[in-house]
A = this chain, B = another copy of it.
């Protein structure tokens, strides 16, 4: 497992270097300085860079170099970062801290935080649409399309809408296991699945290989969310470095609350096994991705 953490760290290093470079380039082309600073605050403030890891290692299955996969990896991280900036806003989750630093709206102001998110979303599509991203325009257009569908109303944004409706609107129907799973598949699953599929697109995978990586990503996303919920329910604050029991305290419906910890663990094990099974077609080359799935069973942060 430590080999996996090394690979995760390596992916984070290369994607952060790339993001630093391309954001500096955009700044030199005329981004207003205060906006540029707030964008750096949002993007370069740490994070595991899990989605970029998935893009890089999915692409590597087809022999694609990290360089070839970096624009797609950076693009999906920009979408992820923008979503965190908007989720933290006072009218959404009203969070003042993220990773021990003030959130963007707290460090700057609300309107700057909204614009940082808007600019980062546009930048993600600029990165994958740019002529030098890939000499094959079909690759660029496909990356855009997969990323756009995963980010939008039937994906990440739609999931956030459902999450906020459940928390903020009166008279909502009681959540069910199915409704929670759908919400999570949209809010976090869609982007994780897209990361894997985008790696296949960069690598030039066949439709079957692309489908296999979608399936892997789908089960990995489910495992990711259940392990997150378990971490919140089981973990101690000292272990996770963040507040735990937050979901229960917020009266938030989670799979753990509906199923109990034992049943949730079994769901998690099932999702991990299904994710790994989807990688069979790739043989031993898929070990980094299989390790990523296995880690979901042993997360401590």
Contacts and interface: CB of A to CB of B under 8 A. Distances in A.
A148 B228 CA distance: 33
B91 A114 contact: yes
A145 to B, nearest CB: 4
Nearest to A121: B121
* A interface: dominant SS: helix
Q: Chain A interface residue count: which class? A: 35 or more
A205 interface: no
A34 B34 CA distance: 34
A298 interface: no
A92 interface: yes
Interface string A128-157: 111100001110111011011101111101
Contacts of A126: 145, 148-149, 152
Interface of A: 26, 29-32, 34-36, 39, 82, 86, 89, 91-92, 109-112, 114-115, 117-119, 121-123, 125-126, 128-131, 136-138, 140-142, 144-145, 147-149, 151-155, 157-158, 160-162, 164-165, 168, 186
Given A86-B118, A91-B109, A131-B145, 5 more contacts: A26-B154, A36-B153, A122-B157, A126-B148, A140-B140
